[in-house]
Amino acid sequence: MKTYTPELPENADQNWIVVDAANIPLGRLATLVASRIRGKHRPDFTPNMILGDFVIVLNASQVTLTGKKMDQKLYSRYSGYQGGLKQETARSLIARAPERVIEHAVFGMLPKGRQGRAMHSHLKVYPGEQHPHSAQKPTKLETN
């Protein structure tokens, strides 16, 4: 029996989705967004093709973390030099750059390698209500 391998459709419609992150836990938001970007919601999902949607996340500054994670979760970056390790709590990172918290959570759920790096451009995160993608006619995704 031959294995079915789908062809890349010429008219692969990649929709634009808007997600409101206000008062949604970070992990639930990240899994929803990562599966949409990856294309796992489609019946023709194929792991080696990028058929997922473009996702716009609004109100990134209002995302919530459960428990004591706001003060105990640390985000680290390292410059490569001695003493160059910088650590920051989730509360201070959300206050300074709220889009980075969501990007970090979503990118950690995407595949590593060339295909995962190509999916990074499918995520657009904004700290407030406004976004410059109204020409793409995005549809609102209900999160319950």
What are the pLDDT digits (tens) for 58-80?
999 999 999 999 999 999 999 99
Question: Is the residue at 25 inside a domain?
Answer: yes
114 occurs within a structural domain: yes
Instruction: State the helix-helix crossing angle for 98-107 and 26-38, rounded to 10 degrees.
Output: 60
Within a domain: 102 = yes
In this predicted structure, what is the pLDDT of residue 41? 92
Place of tokens 């992150």: 21
Domain range holding 105?
16-66+95-140
CATH, residue 101: 3.90.1180.10
What is the pLDDT confidence band of residue 10, given thresholds at 50, 70 and 90?
low
Give the pLDDT confidence of 79-121 residue by residue, as tens digits. Answer: 999 999 999 999 999 999 999 999 999 999 999 999 999 999 9
What pLDDT was estimated at residue 7? 76
Each residue's pLDDT tens digit, 126-136: 999 999 999 99
The residues, ordered by sequence, that sit 6+ positions from 114 with a Cβ below 8 Å of its Cβ are none
> Is 79 inside a domain boundary?
no
Tokens (6 digits) for 97: 């750059």
47-61 pLDDT, tens digit per residue, is 888 889 999 999 999
Residue 124 lies in a domain: yes
Q: Is residue 90 part of a domain?
A: no
Q: Is the pLDDT of residue 9 over 90?
A: no
Residue 9 in domain: no
Please give the torsion angle defined by the CA atoms of residues 99, 118, 20 and 130, in that order, rounded to the nearest 10 degrees.
70
Instruction: Give the residue carrying structure tokens 């062809």.
Output: 7
Please state the domain count of the chain: 1
Please give the pLDDT value at position 4: 78
d(C-alpha 106, C-alpha 51), whole Å:
17
